[in-house]
């Protein structure tokens, strides 16, 4: 383990202990070898968050530990069905009330990014942040022509902090992969790899600006979702400028009711927006916690969502998108046999899985939750039961679906807060059926064929040349077929490692015997010396022979 990783692990434990979260420390088996160092340190005696509630202590610890931990708190804060109320209330503060950095640092960052004084960039700039999040904070400003905007600025030193925490996560994932029985199914190393790509993408605000522009095009003219305009001339890698929007934060139910908003329609629209992004556009906002979602209530009967913070977006491969839609529809139809068959076809479970057994297991978990509103469904219990099924059938986690699952959890959490009577099945089912019909319609097939026609014609033009070259190489004996076998490559690598270990052992033995020979000759025990020299030569020749056979 690298020293900086060990230091970070100790720092994590220190924060947990100092904020009175000792139970987390005692439950962390990885820390046992050096746990005593923490308890003997003075900061564990004098720097605790005395008097704070458990929710406050947990929030403060996450804030101290940095952006990755804050994002974890943001994600779970939407699941009030999984958390005690006091903890959920405190973690909700992580959505937009993370302690800000000083406004003078923000100004210095802006001037460095543009190479101009602040007065030469904006007409006005408020140094007091409007909101602060784990990776960046937002300030209100106006452009030189008076248009009102928000300016998003990365926190200083973010890349170094995140790189270290990712290294810690990768170390823990590697340990889990080596020593945890469930690692092959849960694939922790791949999950951390997916998370690395996601979190590093958030550090590039030009990428976020591109995400916002794409989402705005996807919902152009929509009455469901409004996306603010990006001002590209003002965007840099660490600074982004976009239109300022006004609205009610989505979880402020008191204000929404006071404004007369149709809460039921708002909740149903949220479900439709999710399915539209995932299936129609294959491009979805994947960080939909309440701090990033506002509601415009200019027309209370038709309230419209407005999204901000586009640092995390998700896409799916066409194959996964198809299987997900088929799974949802089979689930809505209670066709558990189809659900089981789709899991086998998609490769999410091993090919030898008995479909009838998987069907029975899925039916047992899913049947009790039908025709119930959100408030009567414990998705936590459903999830736990599904995990039990996954373990029983050796179902592997699909890293490419993690963002989608996270987004679905956020949507469900928001729906539970907005309108607990919402019927997810009745809201989502008509949309998915319509999408499947449109996807398989003759018009859609013709449109797809027309889009692929230029590539097909180009390949057709190249066929005679490819055929002529192949025949000529075959005639001249220069045609070679390359066959790559992953298992054979792994076997060769293992043989090379074994050969290296054998060579090292033989070399050590040769040196040891040569040393004995030198000792024997120097003490006039000639017969022993010659015997050791002969043994050394025999070992050397044996190693050469083994190497030649391996080659």
Residue 18 burial (CB < 10 Å; 0-12/13-18/19+)?
buried
- Active-site residue flag, 86: no
Interaxial angle between packed helices 54-65 and 85-92, expressed in degrees from 0 to 180 and rounded to the nearest 10? 30
pLDDT at 490: 55
CA atoms within 13 A on the CB side of 161: 19
pLDDT at 413: 75
Beta pairing, strands 225-226 & 304-307: parallel
CATH 3.40.50.720 matches 103-156+204-313:
no
pLDDT at 297: 94
Task: Break the chain into its structural domains and give their ranges.
Answer: 3-94, 103-156+204-313, 159-199, 316-439, 501-550
Find where tokens 């952006």 sit.
Answer: 67
pLDDT at 430: 84
Across the chain, which distance is largest between two alpha carbons, in Å?
107
- Tokens linked to 299: 């027309």
pLDDT at 213: 96
Annotated active-site residue in 96, 165, 238, 287? 287
Give one DSSP letter per residue of 221-244, joined into a string. Answer: T-SSEE-PPB-GGG--SSEEEEE-
pLDDT at 544: 52
Q: How far apart are CA 121 and CA 2, in angstroms?
A: 44
pLDDT at 399: 59
What residues contact 403, with CB distance under 8 A and at least 6 apart?
Answer: 194, 198, 284, 286, 312, 314
Give pTM, 2 decimals.
Answer: 0.69
Q: How far apart are CA 258 and CA 303, in angstroms?
A: 13
Q: How far apart are CA 432 and CA 443, in angstroms?
A: 18
551 residues of the chain, pLDDT tens digit each: 567 777 877 777 777 777 877 665 555 544 444 455 555 555 455 555 556 788 888 888 888 888 777 777 776 676 665 567 788 788 878 766 678 889 999 999 999 999 999 999 999 999 999 988 878 899 999 999 999 999 999 988 888 888 888 888 788 778 777 776 666 666 777 777 777 887 888 889 999 999 999 999 999 989 999 999 999 999 999 999 999 999 999 988 999 999 999 999 998 898 889 889 988 899 988 887 778 899 999 999 999 999 998 988 888 888 888 888 888 888 878 888 888 888 888 777 777 788 888 888 888 888 877 767 766 765 555 655 665 676 677 776 665 666 777 777 777 777 778 888 877 777 778 888 887 787 766 776 676 667 666 776 677 777 777 777 777 777 777 766 665 554 555 556 555 555 555 544 444 444 444 444 444 444 444 444 455 455 555 555 555 555 545 44
pLDDT at 523: 47
pLDDT at 251: 85
Q: How far apart are CA 481 and CA 334, in angstroms?
A: 49
pLDDT at 496: 57
The DSSP code for 97 is: B
pLDDT at 444: 60
Q: How far apart are CA 260 and CA 256, in angstroms?
A: 6
């Amino acid at each position: 383990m690298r020293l900086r990783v060990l230091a970070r692990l100790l720092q994590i434990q220190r924060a947990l202990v100092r904020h009175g979260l000792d139970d987390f420390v005692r439950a962390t088996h990885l820390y046992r070898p050096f746990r005593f160092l923490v308890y003997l340190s003075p900061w564990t005696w004098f720097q605790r968050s005395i008097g704070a509630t458990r929710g406050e202590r947990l929030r403060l610890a996450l804030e101290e530990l940095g952006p990755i931990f804050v994002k974890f708190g943001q994600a779970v804060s939407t699941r009030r069905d999984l958390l005690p109320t006091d903890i959920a209330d405190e973690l909700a503060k992580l959505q937009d009330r993370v302690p800000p950095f000083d406004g003078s640092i923000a100004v210095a960052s802006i001037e460095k990014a543009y190479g101009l004084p602040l007065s030469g960039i904006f007409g006005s700039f408020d140094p007091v942040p409007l909101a602060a999040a784990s990776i960046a904070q937002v300030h209100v400003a106006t452009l030189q022509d008076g248009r009102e905007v928000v300016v998003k600025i990365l926190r200083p030193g973010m890349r170094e902090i995140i790189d270290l925490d990712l290294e810690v996560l990768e170390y823990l994932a590697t340990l889990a992969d080596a020593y945890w029985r469930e690692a092959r199914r849960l694939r922790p190393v791949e999950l951390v790899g997916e998370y690395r790509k996601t979190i590093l993408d958030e550090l590039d605000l030009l990428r976020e600006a591109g995400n916002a522009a794409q989402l705005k095009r996807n919902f152009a003219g929509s009455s469901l979702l409004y996306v603010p305009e990006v001002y590209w001339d003002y965007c840099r890698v660490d600074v982004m400028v976009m239109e300022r929007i006004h609205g009610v934060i989505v979880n402020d139910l008191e204000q929404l009711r006071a404004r007369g908003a149709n809460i039921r329609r708002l909740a149903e629209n949220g479900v439709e927006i999710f399915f539209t992004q995932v299936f129609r556009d294959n491009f979805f906002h994947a960080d939909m916690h309440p701090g990033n979602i506002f509601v415009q209530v200019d027309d209370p009967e038709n309230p419209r969502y407005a999204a901000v913070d586009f640092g995390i977006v998700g896409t799916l491969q066409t194959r996964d998108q198809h299987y997900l839609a088929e799974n949802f529809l089979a689930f809505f139809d209670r066709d558990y046999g189809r659900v089981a068959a789709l899991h086998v076809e998609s490769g999410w479970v091993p090919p030898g899985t008995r479909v009838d057994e998987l069907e029975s297991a899925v039916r047992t978990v899913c049947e009790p939750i039908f025709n119930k509103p959100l408030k009567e469904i414990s998705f936590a219990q459903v999830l736990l039961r599904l995990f039990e099924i996954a373990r029983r059938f050796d179902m592997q986690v699909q890293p490419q679906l993690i963002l989608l699952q996270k987004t679905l959890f956020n949507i469900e959490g928001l729906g539970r807060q907005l309108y607990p009577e919402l019927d997810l099945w009745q809201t989502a089912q008509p949309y998915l059926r319509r999408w499947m019909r449109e996807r398989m319609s003759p018009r859609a097939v013709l449109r797809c064929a027309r889009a692929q026609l230029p590539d097909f014609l180009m390949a057709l033009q190249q066929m005679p040349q490819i055929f002529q070259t192949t025949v000529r190489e075959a005639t001249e004996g220069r045609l070679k077929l390359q066959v790559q076998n992953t298992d054979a490559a792994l076997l060769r690598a293992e043989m090379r490692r074994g050969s290296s270990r054998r060579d090292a052992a033989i070399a050590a033995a040769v040196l040891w015997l040569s040393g004995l020979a030198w000792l024997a000759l120097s003490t006039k025990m000639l017969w022993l010396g010659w015997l050791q020299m002969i043994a050394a030569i025999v070992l050397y020749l044996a190693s050469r022979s083994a190497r030649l056979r391996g080659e």
